[in-house]
Amino acid sequence: MTQEVFSELDLTTLLSLSFSTSINELHDRLRELGFADIRPVHGFMFKCIAPNGATGIELAEYLGITKQAVSKMVDYLEKSGYVIRENHPTDKRGKIIVLTERGWLAVKAKEEILTEIEQRWIEIIGTERLQMLKDDLTTLIYKANEDKSTMRSRPVW
Amino acid sequence: MTQEVFSELDLTTLLSLSFSTSINELHDRLRELGFADIRPVHGFMFKCIAPNGATGIELAEYLGITKQAVSKMVDYLEKSGYVIRENHPTDKRGKIIVLTERGWLAVKAKEEILTEIEQRWIEIIGTERLQMLKDDLTTLIYKANEDKSTMRSRPVW
DNA sequence: AAAATATAGTCAACTTGATTGACTACTTTT
DNA sequence: AAAAGTAGTCAATCAAGTTGACTATATTTT
């Protein structure tokens, strides 16, 4: 596989491939560490649950899926031991979903792996270029979404 | 929505969000142009079909899904008028999937929209920075996949 | 050349992750 | 107090993938 293969690719494809590359590596490593039952969406869900817990509705809005879909995902994560549902302190209708100890371990592992990946990318293109890359992507995401009231570009992983 | 919201995001999340942003815009625009029945995967499939057609197996390998799944997708795209199955010229077992006129229109529209998006991004961060971005992403994808025999990072759109 | 094996594609049944709709319990507004 | 709204669950359905079984043709082996 030569670099020329990629050189004519449009930006969207490049973003797609680079995202796939990093997310695949993240989950390969998580699997090695014993977190084989976590799928890409869960990682993003965890970000919303940590550090203070979240309600089903909050998660649904955050992920851009229905509350019913969230409920099923929480069923799965609860069964797998990553989260538990607690009663909401003030609203007797509601539940609040919080991370278990195992959930926190997964979050910590995820962060460490992402740092490792980023570190390796720094070794390839250098600190300055990686910072520019992050800055530019941040700017572009910001510009594309500033007019929208809700953040439509749901991150899927 | 302020830019600070994004500023602490890790690289993987930035890649995810920027990819979502561009793919959403692409399909919003395609919908406006009357191509509402195309989903993100189809775009990538079209890249393999054009310009010379492709067999089901080729598409399956390219997309990283089973040949049965490809067959269903082709059913859908054929019904929607984007492709047709022709008999393979040399192998009587095989079919060759080619773009119809409507299929070509969709591909052309897609390319134009992607160019527009890229152009708008140039207006935001400048030609040099966009070129650097593309170069860096290309390098990173290349480095991450050079050891692997098959390109595991399937682009999903 | 015949037989055995492999390959391209389709059909059918099943799985998974999402959807919509209906419902219960509780909260907020009027 | 009554009406309307909200949080969560249950059930049925849908969509996009999977595995397994099959037919027809190609290729390889003997």
Domain ranges for chain B: 9-146
Residue among B129, B141, B143 whose CB faces A136 most closely:
B129
Q: A155, B17: Cβ pair inside 8 Å?
A: yes
Helix (H, G, I), strand (E, B) or coil at A85: strand
Mean pLDDT in residue range A41-69: 94
pLDDT of residue B149: 55
Q: Which helix (H) or strand (E) holds B85?
A: strand B83-87
Q: How far does Cα A36 stand from its chain's mean position?
A: 16
Query: In which residue are the tokens 């990538």 written?
Result: B44
A36 contacts chain B (CB < 8 A) = no
Contacts of B103 (CB under 8 A, 6+ apart): B46, B49, B50, B77, B81, B82, B83
pLDDT at A156: 58
User: Is residue A18 scored above 60 in pLDDT?
Assistant: yes
- Whether residue B125 and residue A136 make contact (CB cut-off 8 A), yes or no, is yes
* Band of pLDDT at residue A120, cut at 50, 70 and 90: very high
pLDDT for A155? 62
Task: Reduce the DSSP state of residue B53 to 3 states and report it.
Answer: coil
- Is B68 strand, coil or helix? helix
Residue type, B144: A
Mean pLDDT for chain A overall: 90
Percent residues over pLDDT 90 in chain B: 82
- With 0-12 / 13-18 / 19 or more C-beta atoms within 10 angstroms meaning exposed / middle / buried, residue A127 is exposed
pTM for this model (two decimals): 0.89
Mean pLDDT of A134-154: 80
Average pLDDT, chain B: 90
pLDDT at position B156 is 57
Question: What CATH fold (topology level) applies to the domain B9-146?
Answer: Arc Repressor Mutant, subunit A (1.10.10)
Mean pLDDT across the stretch B52-68?
Answer: 95
- Please name every residue paired with B86 in a beta bridge, in sequence order, or none if there are none: B96
Among chain B residues, the shortest Cα distance to A24 is held by B153
Which pLDDT value is given to residue B64? 93
**B123 CA, C13 C1': separation in Å?**
53
Let me know: does B108 contact B43? Beta carbons within 8 Å.
no
Mean of pLDDT values over B94-98: 98
Mean pLDDT of A62-69: 94
pLDDT higher than 80, residue A20: yes
Rounded mean pLDDT, B15-24: 92
Q: B104 or B148: whose pLDDT is higher?
A: B104
Strand D: protein residues, Cβ closer than 7 A: A 55-57, 67-68, 71, 74, 85, 88, 91, 93-96; B 39, 41, 64-66, 68-69, 72-73, 76, 91-93
Higher pLDDT, B133 or A6: B133
Beta bridge partners of B96: B86
DSSP secondary structure letter of residue A155:
-
pLDDT digits (tens, 9 = 90+) for B26-50: 999 999 999 999 999 999 899 999 9
